[in-house]
A and B are shown apart, each in its own frame.
Chain A
Amino acid sequence: GQQVMQIPQYQHVQEGEDFTTYCNSSTTLSNIQWYKQRPGGHPVFLIQLVKSGEVKKQKRLTFQFGEAKKNSSLHITATQTTDVGTYFCADTEETSGSRLTFGEGTQLTVNP
């Protein structure tokens, strides 16, 4: 079945450093959604990317969709302790048109 791979699995940064997580697929992604899950919490929707090469920004967060629609990235500038959590990318499977397939996530810890 479709697999969405995320790297790295873990990332530890000092507060103020930048952070990037990558989402890769061997097949073309229909669209990408990004979610954040705080420790002990539930996934919360951040953004959706649909178009090839699309770039979207939310304050310190920058989301990119690759030109070939086979990869995506989330970059956080100048991390803060409030950024702590696990970041998941998820893709809608074209065959089902409904289910989201989630990556394994990147767990971010920020040292103050």
Chain B
Amino acid sequence: GAGVSQSPRYKVAKRGQDVALRCDPISGHVSLFWYQQALGQGPEFLTYFQNEAQLDKSGLPSDRFFAERPEGSVSTLKIQRTQQEDSAVYLCASSSRDGDSPLHFGNGTRLTVT
């Protein structure tokens, strides 16, 4: 009965390093979302998967950001050549279907780029 699991919980990267953030959604949840949350702000949409298909990646801020969900369950968000402005909490959420379904969020990964 686990919820959405994200790892690592904290990540410190030097500027220019690549990072990979993992999300393990609730079993059976079709939809998976990635959000970025800066301090004191609301979550900002990054990308959305329905099963293994990435249906919307319009929120990814640059081509340094890449997400995948190859088998329709676990998802990875990769950030290449990290910059200081990438520092934020990255939240993963899943839902049983798309559209109006409530999102179940993980605890997030706090990324700090030094």
Q: A98-B55, A98-B56, A98-B98 are in contact. Are A43 and B103 (CB under 8 A)?
A: yes
Stretch at the interface among A14-22, A60-68, A99-107: A99-107
Q: What does the 1/0 interface line of B40-63 toward A look like (CB < 8 Å)? A: 111111001010000110110000
A40 to B44, CA, bound (A): 17
Stretch at the interface among B15-23, B69-77, B80-88, B105-113: B105-113
Contact B100 A48 (CB under 8 A): yes
Task: Tell me if B91 counts as interface (CB < 8 A to partner A).
Answer: yes
Task: Tell me if A42 counts as interface (CB < 8 A to partner B).
Answer: yes
Q: A99-B56, A104-B41 are in contact. Are A43 and B91 (CB under 8 A)?
A: yes
Q: A42-B105, A45-B103, A96-B56 are in contact. Are A103 and B98 (CB under 8 A)?
A: no
Contact B31 A42 (CB under 8 A): no
Q: How many residues of chain A have a CB within 8 Å of chain B?
A: 26
Q: What does the 1/0 interface line of A23-62 toward B look like (CB < 8 Å)? A: 0000000110101000001111100101000000000000
Q: Which residues does chain A contribute within 8 Å of B11, judged by CB atoms?
A: none
Report B's interface with A, CB cutoff 8 A: 31, 33, 35, 40-45, 48, 50, 55-56, 58-59, 91, 98-100, 102-108
Q: Which residues does chain A contribute within 8 Å of B106, judged by CB atoms?
A: 42
Q: A42-B107, A44-B105 are in contact. Are A88 and B42 (CB under 8 A)?
A: yes
Q: Which residues does chain A contribute within 8 Å of B105, judged by CB atoms?
A: 42-44
Contact B100 A31 (CB under 8 A): yes
Known: A97-B99, A102-B44. 9 other contacts (CB 8 A): A33-B103, A96-B58, A97-B98, A98-B50, A98-B55, A99-B56, A99-B59, A104-B41, A107-B40
Contact B45 A99 (CB under 8 A): yes
- In the complex, what residue of chain A is closest to B44 when comparing beta carbons? A102
Task: Tell me if A80 counts as interface (CB < 8 A to partner B).
Answer: no
- In the complex, what residue of chain A is closest to B89 when comparing beta carbons? A42
Q: Min CB distance, B73 to chain A, in Å? A: 18
A92 to B102, CA, bound (A): 11
